[in-house]
Amino acid sequence: MRLVQIDNWRDYRRDGEQFLKTAQGAYDRRKKTFTPETLYNLTCMAIEKLIMAFLMKNGDLAENHTMADLLRALQLHLGEIPELAEKLLYLNDFQEICDLDQYTIRIPCEVDVLKFLAIGEEVRTVLFPHLYDAGPAATH
């Protein structure tokens, strides 16, 4: 399914790459100002931006921007991706903030950070061929 490309998808791709690079760099340098919660948020923003870039490039948008909704939209284009789906739903469980009556946040710990960053990199790897192809849509 391909609709009309949404023009600024490259901005989302760039932002996603930058968020992921910032999160990984902060973790690698053990910057104390980047708490596990901050690294979670940065990594999730990176994932959101990369998935949105992919969807926008394909003329589509997600219903909402939760990991579960982004996953549903992604699977409409890529088909079933069970291993990645499980990981995105794992991230989704840390913040359920759409329903004000059921608002819950689970604070991540140090061990979770490695999982977040690995999931972010996996999303980037899965989408890389679609976001950096040699076709006319990939040129600046």
* Look-up of token digits 């991230």: 91
Q: How many domains does the chain have?
A: 1
What's the whole-number mean pLDDT along residues 16-21?
98
pLDDT score recorded for residue 138 = 40
Residue 140 lies in a domain: no
Which one-letter amino acid corresponds to residue 14? Answer: R
Residue 3 lies in a domain: no
φ, ψ of residue 30 to 5 degrees: the values are 55, 45
Domain of 125, in residue numbers? 9-132
- Give the burial class of 68: count Cβ atoms within 10 A of its Cβ; 0-12 exposed, 13-18 middle, 19 or more buried: middle
Which CATH number belongs to the domain containing residue 36 in this structure? 1.20.120.330
Confidence of residue 32 (pLDDT cuts 50, 70, 90): confident
120 versus 136: which is more confidently predicted? 120
Residue 54 lies in a domain: yes
Q: Give the pLDDT confidence of 109-129 residue by residue, as tens digits.
A: 889 999 999 999 999 999 999
- Provide the CA 41 distance to its chain's centre, in angstroms: 10
Nearest to 58 by CA among 14, 111, 9, 126: 9
**How far apart (Å, rounded) are the C-alpha atoms in residues 45 and 62?**
14
pLDDT score recorded for residue 97 = 54
φ, ψ of residue 88 to 5 degrees: the values are -65, -35
Q: Give the pLDDT confidence of 52-99 residue by residue, as tens digits.
A: 999 999 999 988 878 999 999 999 999 999 999 999 999 988 876 555
